[in-house]
Amino acid sequence: MKIGDTYKFFAKFDKKLVKKFQEQFGPVSKFLKPGDTFSFKCARDGKCCTNRFGKDQIILTPYDVARLRTLLKIDSTEFLKKCACLALGAKSQFPIALLKYQATEKGNKCPFLTNQGCSVYQDRPLRCRLYPLGRAYSDGYSYFYLAQVDKNCGINNSRRYVLEEWLSGSEVGPFCDWSDVFHLLFMNIDHEKYKEIAPELKYFFGFLMYDFDTHMKRLSAKNLNDNETMAITLDIAKVYLNKLGLVKQNNT
């Protein structure tokens, strides 16, 4: 899937689906289709980087981890130990990596938030890169929505953006593309069979996708860029799912 698929999605958009998405993803103030506009101005107060709990936590994609660990000059193993924790989705049981927040007297904060702002801004995760937009999937289609943001953002001296302008300026292309690839991998799993396997096998699946540098070392794969690393990681994940007999028959 590509960003342009939102055209297909909105062709069949209806109110019942809106309600379903709101129940699943929380407060949504506006759903966006190509050509739609929204107003926003970053208050630069760091509030969107602090006190995030539950559904509001930052979920990292494997590509997010790849970009961040490259910037930080550490491998994926060290990144997972210091900056993230692996968990299983409450409903899907699909392995996800959650950004590990630092405790403060006022709650918690992103480990990359400094007095000068975001220290990893150029390689920030997709969730942060899209803000104040969110992105979700339904029936093979992706869509963007305007999430409810802090009252100080987008009210005074705000600028009006066209959806495509915001996505282009935020350079979400490769982040969205790799997010789609791993989402498609999940959709191709036989979910009934997946639910029956042991949690240990599900967590190992997570480490295959997120601790990719361990596998690159075993394969003696050196000097790979992030895209090459993701491509090999995807192949390894597919082999693992096939070994467990979890791939849908019509997708083999």
* Mean predicted confidence (pLDDT) in 107-118: 90
Length of the chain: 252
Kindly give the residue spans of alpha helices, DSSP state H, lying in the chain.
Answer: 6-11, 15-25, 62-72, 76-83, 126-130, 163-169, 173-187, 191-196, 199-210, 212-218, 226-243
pLDDT at res. 35: 87
What pLDDT, on a 0 to 100 scale, did the predictor assign at position 105? 82
Asked if 212 and 229 touch (Cβ cutoff 8 Å), the reply is yes
Mean pLDDT of 238-247: 95
What is the rounded CA–CA span in Å between residue 224 and residue 66? Answer: 11
The three-state secondary structure class of 141 is strand
Does residue 141 contact residue 6 with C-beta atoms inside 8 Å?
A: yes
* C-beta contacts of 136-141 below 8 A and 24+ residues apart: 136/21, 136/24, 136/25, 137/183, 138/9, 138/17, 138/20, 138/21, 140/1, 140/187, 141/1, 141/5, 141/6, 141/8, 141/9
Percent of the chain with pLDDT over 70: 80
**pLDDT confidence band for 40 (50 / 70 / 90):** confident
Residue 126 pLDDT class (50, 70, 90 cuts):
very high
pLDDT of residue 78: 97
Report the amino acid identity of residue 109. K
Q: Where are the domains of the chain?
A: 3-243
Which pLDDT belongs to residue 11?
A: 44
The larger pLDDT score, comparing residue 13 to residue 226, is at: 226
Q: At what angle do helices 226-243 and 199-210 cross, to 10 degrees?
A: 160
Centroid of chain to Cα 53: 16
Which residue bears the tokens 């809106």?
18
Task: Write the DSSP symbol of residue 100.
Answer: P
**With bands split at pLDDT 50, 70 and 90, how would you rate the model's confidence at 74?**
very high
The distance in angstroms from the start CA to the end CA of the chain is 19
- pLDDT higher for 109 or 155? 109
Query: Can you give the pLDDT at residue 82?
Result: 95
Greatest mean pLDDT range, 18-22, 35-39, 75-79, 151-155? 75-79
pLDDT at 7 exceeding the cut of 50:
no
CB count, 10 Å around CB of 192? Answer: 8
pTM: 0.87
